[in-house]
Structure 1
């Protein structure tokens, strides 16, 4: 990775964070970065157990890394050598040399940004982002948690030594605990400045996941016992085959259901009823990351979910009274190129000149404000323009959306704003893919979807043609999008793929095809909701399901439109199905009957199974 793909940051800490304990009291000393001026907070903690458990959980998310790592077979080769097997010293030395070379830049790649501490007039918050770039968490403490609170408002970085989580874990709740977070702490030796080169990919993930919180979403409430049941089921089972999704079934007027795949284990929830206007199914992946919430179960009072949609982040808001943890999980544990198509929609398009600056200045002057309040004073700007401007400020790291309270807050991630054009794309190949799609760049190409084939039990096979005018030729990429939204069996005829296959990531033509497919699906779903779009549909098949609350069995309806024919197939998923075929005098009559049947099923609480697809 070259320097052009990194953001240099100099961190100046006067001392190291520590936990001081005596026989009578404990004090948590948090060292803050000193280049931002005077920032800090001090006070005695009222609920020591809540303070300890929430901070430990946040530090656990910070250090989490669930990416697959291959096994080091060096010790096994040494064992074979002792046994006289065919494992020569040359093989052993060659593998060691390869590992040393492969891990040469590992220390630099892992030198990520420290957590961000923000002191506001009404709260103090801590933001962390996991090493595998798949989990974002914001821990907020209200002023009511502290006695004698003294604060200097602002944002800066927090020093977290490797042994700090273990020392926090040893805090005794029967002793008084105080917090002292300052730029310069007394009686400590000064430290040398530390230079950190933050990868743009990590910074992009941090800002985009946080920016995703501003998107429209489906909201549902869970009881703490529902979270316990989910974590217990995940801890006592291990899926050996795909799909491994956590499926949310949302029916208006009914409590949400959680379904664990591939066992189809149904967990009935005991929180509030779903208040949405239409039934929905949302599938999420990377569910093992939820085990980080186990430490918070004794303190949880309620759990709220913000479901952005297939492939987009899911936010879990854990309300613990005077503390709130917001956990944002990306669509996949490995935030690779499969999710690039989903994050592509997060970037704002057209923002009026000066609107972002005026909204940020108002937040600095008046403090946290809701979106409606900001729009009301936005000098005639529309809601869409104001939302795009605020999202742009989130991507620059200058504004934070507090999902737990539904408010925007001023927060400077860096001393200078992040250039969104630098982190616009995850890699150079992704930037070239957008050029091929014609996203406002010269020499644009053309991307065509030549065949989309749904393979039952496997996923969707996608073929395309990419006209690369810069290379003066066409390429024909293809791949299989499996049931978990991952890309498999990818092919392309370009030199990059012929040289290294998928070992160095996808080529720009595969990127462009994946983005084109995602955009077309989004456009088709939006178009079919309009009368004009429905007139273009001549053949289509939809499946609707409804689960019986008592027996847990699923009733499945499969409705098909084919010209002047409407075919209906229904029955229990595990039983025999009944069939019906209806002929009409014209395509318009058949189309009207088809959509009337779909609307009737939705009104009866049936869920469109297609909405659960990635």
Structure 2
């Protein structure tokens, strides 16, 4: 079985006739140069009252990709790839920067690449701008509705040139006069402006060419993040002032932070930022749905849009799951702004596999659903597949628009993140993974050991046991209670190759904590010995994939490792909530209670109950949950 997946590399190549810029005098204008391969054009005017809203929204959109406008060679820090705008010949300087990148990539193995330019989609419903950051962990979409402008729009799509010139000059726009926006490949400019921003008067320069390789991992992650906008999600709304207060708290409190969102049916959502025990009860609509608590890992990026809050009428947050993509949506009468975040790092391979389960990919080509699609249950699957293949935009206000995200990229090779992941899925599909698991005394479920055999007290009705036999049975029972179960390793079997005498059998190991986090991956294969846990081997991944399948089919009556959190909300916003965290760990029931702040800092009260049998611990666990619910606590998952 091959260790690597062969695929065709994708090179981002776009040609522009100028550098996008903003003009302040004699009138406010924004010129956005589209690529030579783009279609459509626009010449619109935004009323003075809406110019400030456009400035803040568009600046926030470009802020997502701004960190990727430059690159510094880590092997040679003196070799920088950053834009140093020249006041007289910015187009020529921009071409020199990208020519320098192409020369470097031909000579060096460490390939330089920058943020991809924004994609603009010109439609009858409005103008949509989309960007994805260089990490592939954040995206932003800005839909300027047709009610927010006047003018002519010719339908089409393509990339528009973006750089520090545009970002720095947008701040000069004001609401004192109307704003004209031009989108196209060529504009009628005066000689001085054309000489500065276009290639029209430059010698030996026909166009600005941006060309650099795009990593395959980024391609797949960015497409999965876009397609996540189609997943079923838990959503709730808040008032603009709530977002302002959240962003203000993030600015005032430095350091590592966690955002916990407590959603209780028919109650106002409660947002807490740890570790300072800062809480906010939102002032929007009451939440309707399943009571739960969700933690957001990557959320600070919403601060980029803090200046937009005065111009929006509603704000909503869609969360697809714990440590899964989340989408902030800011709506106004004339625009919709969406910020998507993956909510997990690329190194967290377990969350990546969980996202694969929600968004399976295949190598089939995307269907032609038209230029604009209103999303419903009949076409949701087809639109999701179209987004995964870069043919359609993300879900904005229940609509998706046709456009090309990565051009001629090899989408068939993006079914898996890596060759090891492909091998892992093939092992599971071919039934070559045998999972054995149990819950250790320390509360870890280890995917390598067998479930403990049930102890049966063999008594004969016809014969009374002697005293010494009863003592021996009691000793055996106590030994089974205290001792760890007998080891029986999980097995992953590969197909036999021509030079092998038998099928290779591996015994990978993986520990899973009560909160779902994984620890201690281990395998004896050559790949793991070489890379360790930096690049998880196919056998450990196959073990976890099979575990996810088994969990879906598991009976609640056989659960051995799980946790619940029950919360009683305070009567006033200034008081802290009372939280009971209950964990079932094999033959133990662990209960901790206090505020979220006390639980996070381990200053809460704690009680541990130990039982002789797992069934007894399970009965106590579910009984304690029922008792707390009778006392007014709500189950937050």
Query: Taking structure 2 as the reference length, what is the TM-score of the superposition?
Result: 0.72
2:319 corresponds to 1:307: yes
2:418 corresponds to 1:427: yes
Q: Is the Cα contact below 8 Å between 1:245 and 1:484 reproduced in 2? A: no
Query: Which segments of 5 or more consecutive residues in structure 1 lack a partner in the other structure?
Result: 76-99, 376-385, 528-532
Task: Write out per-residue CA displacement over residues 558-611 of structure 1, whole angstroms, 9 at most, x where no aligned residue.
Answer: 486999xx989686567767999999xxx8x998997687578669874545x4
- What CA RMSD, in Å, does the superposition of the two structures yield over aligned residues? 4.2
2:162 is aligned to 160
2:340 is aligned to 328
| Corresponding residue SS for 1:422 | helix
From 379, 386, 398, the counterpart of 2:391: 398
Per-residue deviation, 1:17: 1.1
1:261 is aligned to 274
CA distance in 2, matches of 1:390, 1:282: 27
CA distance in 1, matches of 2:354, 2:635: 21
Per-residue deviation, 1:476: 3.4
Structure 1 residues 14-93: aligned runs within 5 Å: 14-22=17-25, 24-46=26-48, 47-64=50-67
1:448 is aligned to 435
1:282 is aligned to 294
From 443, 464, 467, the counterpart of 2:493: 467
Q: Is the Cα contact below 8 Å between 2:145 and 2:335 reproduced in 1? A: yes
CA distance in 2, matches of 1:136, 1:484: 28
1:511 is aligned to 541
Structure 1 residues 380-395: aligned runs within 5 Å: 386-395=379-388
Q: Is the Cα contact below 8 Å between 1:281 and 1:607 reproduced in 2? A: no
Task: Write out per-residue CA displacement over residues 459-502 of structure 1, whole angstroms, 9 at most, x where no aligned residue.
Answer: 87655543333573333334566899776554332222322334
Q: Which has the larger radius of gyration?
A: 2
CA distance in 2, matches of 1:137, 1:55: 10
2:525 corresponds to 1:494: yes
Q: Is the Cα contact below 8 Å between 1:455 and 1:461 reproduced in 2? A: no
Cα distance change of structure 1 residues 192 and 568 upon mapping to structure 2, 3 Å threshold: closer
CA distance in 2, matches of 1:219, 1:18: 37
More moved, 258-267 vs 550-559? 550-559
Per-residue deviation, 1:324: 1.6
2:330 corresponds to 1:318: yes
Task: Write out per-residue CA displacement over residues 67-110 of structure 1, whole angstroms, 9 at most, x where no aligned residue.
Answer: xx9999999xxxxxxxxxxxxxxxxxxxxxxxx99x9455x442
More moved, 599-608 vs 319-328? 599-608
Query: Which segments of 5 or more consecutive residues in structure 2 lack a partner in the other structure?
Result: 79-103, 190-197, 201-205, 449-489, 498-502, 596-602
1:382 is aligned to none
Query: Taking structure 1 as the reference length, what is the TM-score of the superposition?
Result: 0.75
1:556 is aligned to 580
Q: Is the Cα contact below 8 Å between 2:268 and 2:284 reproduced in 1? A: yes
Cα distance change of structure 1 residues 559 and 314 upon mapping to structure 2, 3 Å threshold: closer
Cα distance change of structure 1 residues 549 and 496 upon mapping to structure 2, 3 Å threshold: farther
Per-residue deviation, 1:451: 4.5
2:245 is aligned to 229
Task: Write out per-residue CA displacement over residues 228-264 of structure 1, whole angstroms, 9 at most, x where no aligned residue.
Answer: 2222222222346xxx431111001111111223334
Per-residue deviation, 1:556: 1.8
Cα distance change of structure 1 residues 306 and 200 upon mapping to structure 2, 3 Å threshold: same
2:264 corresponds to 1:251: yes
CA distance in 1, matches of 2:593, 2:295: 23
From 294, 299, 305, the counterpart of 2:306: 294
Cα distance change of structure 1 residues 41 and 203 upon mapping to structure 2, 3 Å threshold: farther
Q: Is the Cα contact below 8 Å between 1:319 and 1:325 reproduced in 2? A: yes
| Corresponding residue SS for 1:263 | coil
More moved, 484-493 vs 24-33? 484-493
Q: Is the Cα contact below 8 Å between 2:43 and 2:180 reproduced in 1? A: no
Per-residue deviation, 1:119: 0.9
2:472 is aligned to none
Structure 1 residues 103-114: aligned runs within 5 Å: 104-106=108-110, 108-114=111-117
